[in-house]
Chains A and B, each alone.
Chain A
């Protein structure tokens, strides 16, 4: 297969040369992937598969109109180019506005620091899953069910454009998700852990205490009191900070969302103050070693690091070539597609809030009654509104950690919440568990990072009111 994808390189370039003159933009993206998917539920194997796939897509733009065709057999490449060009010419009736990027011919491989998952036999991966499932189940006899999911994929992507770009890049990505549900009568509680890596299979081994922790939290929560709902000053850990910056703020920085929504574009005006002077927010695929790291995006734009918030003020947003062209800004290398079935969208890569200067212990100081929340179980978002359920939580009383509580949901409006950041911790953690969803392209690897934060005026919900029961 490697030979066939290599042979296709010359054909891709030849087709771009031949058809490029009929449209304003023509790109052929060819992808070869090898992946593993294992799901154990209740310790039993529900999915166990290895798959190899090859496929690609063609994107053409003519007078602002896009044509798209995908294929899973190289023999279809020529007809797909014809179809995409014809479709673009059919719908284009305006002006093509794509920010320019310099053409480049290059081969890059995202470096592994340990074992390539493709070198590990399926049986060993399955045994690792069974080991973790046993750990989860063995924590307590009130564990009702467990699930362990393992996925890996090694992708090699060729991108050729009529502008003369030919990029050959490859990476491996791995992820494991763990969940344990504990039940005692009608009380049901869940604990989760997730991890991922683009560096080494070994990153998924030796996670015993982390995995066991998920089941221990589920069991412990059975006997905890629900938090008393209200508005509190809260301290959140770096994982919740990462979730917040990605889900609540990051998606609003994606220029396609803003471009299609004039109200959002106005809300996200450059120069608007969102948070305190000490707040710095970034996104970028350029920092190496994280789930959202790569060299070039799926339009051939080099990876960058984009500062979104500087000293509390909005200074940047994330772009594809089209959104950058339409808004008159620089492309940022954020056009990504999940796989060859899809067209690239503006997506986050690694998104983080920079480390602050407040010692973590000082974040709790002077809080008479507040909530400390760590990790997360589930969340909901709608535009600028969010609700996240904490993985575990404690009350803060008189500046000290007090009793643990459960059913802690943190809700709010992202703009108000950013403005309510009272202090930024001097710790930092990269959460490599992220699988981002947008436009039906779910599970795209991303990294999220940040320090602990102290935030005022957070609406904390306790046990949900069941309006409809």
Chain B
């Protein structure tokens, strides 16, 4: 996920700004990369690029670096990856952290933000164990998060991102 490139930093900054403006002053709290989400079932933690918590953060055993209740997580994809293709025989497999985090009962949306093209894929919890997927591409579209009522214009997510740079 995080590769420290300048584009990665720009997307992260843009997302942080957008999310904080759209929902950071309501009951939601936006937390940047570096805060650990703890998965008690698996006794391990993961570090999303950005997360949103509804209400007060729940801390595992009171430990301040182990958040249990993100409702939205963002992951910025470092490498060129096969995107969603409506003609493909199957849905794209999104493994890694998302697969580990799908058991978090509080998680409502997991958002992949591609770095090498203007493309965002949102997986949202449609039912307790069933996830729906929406995909946006191109700078003229808008990502509507399944929770928080946030609407994120792709143009703002990718502000100052230079797609000609090699990752």
Q: A residues touching B (Cβ–Cβ < 8 Å)?
A: 144-145, 147, 177, 181, 183, 188, 190, 192, 247, 376-383, 385-387, 411-413, 435-438, 440, 442-443, 459, 461, 464-469
Report the bound CA distance from A190 to B127 in whole Å: 17
Total number of residue pairs linking A and B with CB closer than 8 Å: 102
Residue from A382, A442, A459, A461 within 8 A of B125 (CB atoms) = A442
The verdict on B102 contacting chain A, using a C-beta distance below 8 Å, is yes
From B84, B123, B129, residue with most partner A Cβ within 10 Å: B129
Report the bound CA distance from A382 to B124 in whole Å: 11
| B-chain residues with CB within 8 Å of residue A190 when the two chains form the complex | 103
From A376, A381, A412, residue with most partner B Cβ within 10 Å: A381
Cβ-defined contact, A435 with B90, below 8 A: no
Report the bound CA distance from A382 to B88 in whole Å: 12
25 contacts between A and B (CB under 8 A): A144-B43, A192-B129, A376-B129, A379-B130, A380-B132, A381-B91, A382-B84, A382-B91, A382-B132, A382-B133, A382-B135, A385-B86, A387-B91, A411-B89, A412-B90, A435-B127, A437-B126, A443-B127, A465-B93, A465-B95, A467-B94, A467-B96, A468-B75, A468-B96, A468-B97
Cβ-defined contact, B40 with A145, below 8 A: yes
Min C-beta distance of B101 to chain A, whole Å: 12
**Mask: chain B, 115-129; 1 = CB below 8 Å from A; 0 = not:** 000000001011111
| A-chain residues with CB within 8 Å of residue B84 when the two chains form the complex | 382
Cβ-defined contact, A468 with B77, below 8 A: yes
Cβ-defined contact, A411 with B97, below 8 A: no
Residue from B90, B96, B103 within 8 A of A385 (CB atoms) = B90
A145 nearest in chain B by CB position: B41
Known: A468-B75, A468-B77. A177 touches B91 (CB 8 A): no
Cβ-defined contact, B90 with A387, below 8 A: yes
Cβ-defined contact, A459 with B132, below 8 A: no
**Mask: chain B, 99-118; 1 = CB below 8 Å from A; 0 = not:** 10011010000000000000
Report the bound CA distance from A377 to B99 in whole Å: 13
B78 nearest in chain A by CB position: A468
- Chain B interface extent, by class: 35 or more
Cβ-defined contact, B99 with A464, below 8 A: yes
A376 nearest in chain B by CB position: B129
| A-chain residues with CB within 8 Å of residue B88 when the two chains form the complex | 385
Residue from A381, A459, A465 within 8 A of B130 (CB atoms) = A381
Report the bound CA distance from A380 to B96 in whole Å: 16
Known: A380-B123, A382-B84, A437-B125. A467 touches B130 (CB 8 A): no
B123 nearest in chain A by CB position: A380
Report the bound CA distance from A376 to B131 in whole Å: 13
Report the bound CA distance from A144 to B43 in whole Å: 9
Known: A411-B89, A466-B95, A468-B1. A437 touches B41 (CB 8 A): no
| A-chain residues with CB within 8 Å of residue B134 when the two chains form the complex | 382
Contacts A145-B40, A466-B95 aside, 11 further interface pairs with beta carbons under 8 A come to A188-B42, A378-B102, A381-B131, A382-B84, A382-B91, A383-B86, A385-B86, A387-B93, A413-B89, A435-B127, A464-B93
Cβ-defined contact, B41 with A181, below 8 A: yes
Nearest 10 CB-CB pairs, A to B? Answer: A411-B90, A468-B96, A437-B126, A466-B95, A382-B133, A464-B95, A378-B129, A469-B96, A437-B127, A379-B130
Min C-beta distance of A260 to chain B, whole Å: 14
From B77, B95, B99, B128, residue with most partner A Cβ within 10 Å: B128
| A-chain residues with CB within 8 Å of residue B131 when the two chains form the complex | 378-381
Report the bound CA distance from A380 to B132 in whole Å: 5
Known: A385-B90, A459-B89. A380 touches B95 (CB 8 A): no
Report the bound CA distance from A213 to B133 in whole Å: 31
B93 nearest in chain A by CB position: A464
Min C-beta distance of A387 to chain B, whole Å: 5
Cβ-defined contact, A183 with B42, below 8 A: yes
The verdict on B141 contacting chain A, using a C-beta distance below 8 Å, is no
The verdict on B26 contacting chain A, using a C-beta distance below 8 Å, is no
Residue from B81, B89, B103, B146 within 8 A of A467 (CB atoms) = B81
Report the bound CA distance from A324 to B17 in whole Å: 43
Q: Which residues in chain B, 30-53, are within 8 Å of chain A measured between CB atoms?
A: 40-43
Report the bound CA distance from A253 to B61 in whole Å: 46
| B-chain residues with CB within 8 Å of residue A413 when the two chains form the complex | 89
| A-chain residues with CB within 8 Å of residue B129 when the two chains form the complex | 192, 376-379
Min C-beta distance of B149 to chain A, whole Å: 10
Report the bound CA distance from A209 to B41 in whole Å: 24
